[in-house]
Every structure is written in C-alpha cells, then in structure tokens.
Structure 1
Amino acid sequence: MLLELSAPEARDLKQALEAALRQLLDEIAHADQRAYRDMLRERYDRLEQLNRRMDIPVESDSVYA
C-alpha cells in the first residue's frame, strides 16, 4: 500500500504513533497475563518499525510512507 501524506499530516501521524508507543509500553508493564503481554509487545514492535520508517526528512509537500 502506498499512502501520500502532506508534511503536516506526516508530523501528526508521527506524534500519534509516538503517543501510542508510550501508552503501549505502560500497558505492557502492567499486563498480568503472558499471552496478552506478548500480543502487546508484537503490536509495539510493528508500530515502532513504522515509527522508524517515518523518520525520513520532510523536504517536499508530500511524504510517501
């Protein structure tokens, strides 16, 4: 899938991802059941990978992610 974002949209999405990652870390730390914690960790890893991919410099009006 190809998603075209404007620079402000890319910044907003990056901020939302970072907030979700912080929340997931807290939820992982408080999870009692191992299976649930593992599922949260997998989700965290996917979102963290996406967040790293968003670290490209925004030089034009559009960003492809």
Structure 2
Amino acid sequence: MLLEMTAVEARELKEILDSSLRSLLDEIAHADHRAYREMLQARYTRLEQFNRRLEATAESDQVYA
C-alpha cells in the first residue's frame, strides 16, 4: 500500500505518532498482565518503526508513508 501525503500532513501524523508512543510507554509501564504488556510492546515497536520511516521520508520533497 502506498499513501501519498503533503509535508504538512506528514508532520501532523508524526506529531500524533510521537504522542501515541509516549502514551504507550506509560501504559506499558503500568500494565499488570504479561500478555497485555507484550501486545502493547509489539504495538509500540510497529508504531516506532513507522514513525522512523515517516521521519526519513518527510525530509524529502515527496512524502510517502
């Protein structure tokens, strides 16, 4: 899947991802059940990887995520 977005949209999406990642870290730290914590950690890893890819492409003229 290829998603085209403007630089402004990419920056806004990155801000949302940054906020979500911070919230996830807090939720992971307070998770009582191991399975739930592992699910949150897997989600954090996926979002963090996407955030890094978004950051790398946001520096170019064409922005794809």
Which runs of no fewer than 5 residues in structure 2 stay unpaired? none
SS at match of 2:55: coil
2-structure distance, mates of 1:33, 1:19: 23
Higher relative contact order (Cα pairs below 8 Å, separated by 6+ residues): 1
Answer yes or no: is the 8 Å Cα contact 2:2–2:64 preserved in 1: yes
Number of the residue aligned with 2:6: 6
Instruction: Measure how far apart 1:19 and its partner are.
Output: 0.3
Give the structure with the higher percent helix: 2
Instruction: Measure how far apart 1:59 and its partner are.
Output: 3.8
Instruction: Measure how far apart 1:64 and its partner are.
Output: 1.0
2-structure distance, mates of 1:17, 1:11: 10
Please, what is the CA RMSD of the aligned residues? Answer: 1.1
Q: How many residues align?
A: 64
Structure 1 residue runs of 4 or more that deviate by more than 4 Å after TM superposition: none
Taking structure 2 as the reference length, the TM-score comes to 0.91
1-structure distance, mates of 2:3, 2:43: 20
Taking structure 1 as the reference length, the TM-score comes to 0.91
Which runs of no fewer than 5 residues in structure 1 stay unpaired? none
Number of the residue aligned with 1:30: 30
